[in-house]
Amino acid sequence: MSSRVLLAAAAATVLLGACAMRPAGNSPSFFVTGANPGKGADFGGLEGADRYCQALGTAAGAGQRTWRAYLSATASGNAPAVNARDRIGTGPWFNTKGTLIAYNLNELHTAPNISKQTALTEKGEMVSGRGDTVNMHDILTGSKADGTVATGTGDTTCGNWTSSGEGSAIVGHHDRLGLSEDAPAKSWNASHPTRGCSLDALKSTGGGGRLYCFAAN
Closest CA to 55 of 216, 213, 217: 213
pTM of the shown model? 0.88
How many independent structural domains does the chain possess? 1
How big is the CA angle at 182 (ends 181 and 187), to the nearest 5 degrees?
Answer: 100
212: helix, strand or coil: strand
Find the domain containing 63 and state its range.
3-215
| H or E element in which residue 100 lies | strand 100-102
Residue 133 belongs to domain with CATH number: 3.10.100.10
Compute the half-sphere exposure of residue 116: CA atoms within 13 Å on the CB side of its CA. Answer: 15
User: 3-state secondary structure string, 32-66?
Assistant: ECCCCCCCCCCCCHHHHHHHHHHHHHHHCCCCCCC
How does pLDDT run along the chain (217 residues), one tens digit per residue? 444 433 344 444 334 444 445 444 468 999 999 999 999 999 999 999 999 999 999 999 999 999 999 999 999 999 999 999 999 999 999 999 999 999 999 999 999 999 999 999 999 999 999 999 999 999 999 999 999 999 988 999 999 999 999 999 999 999 999 989 899 999 999 999 999 999 999 999 999 999 999 999 9
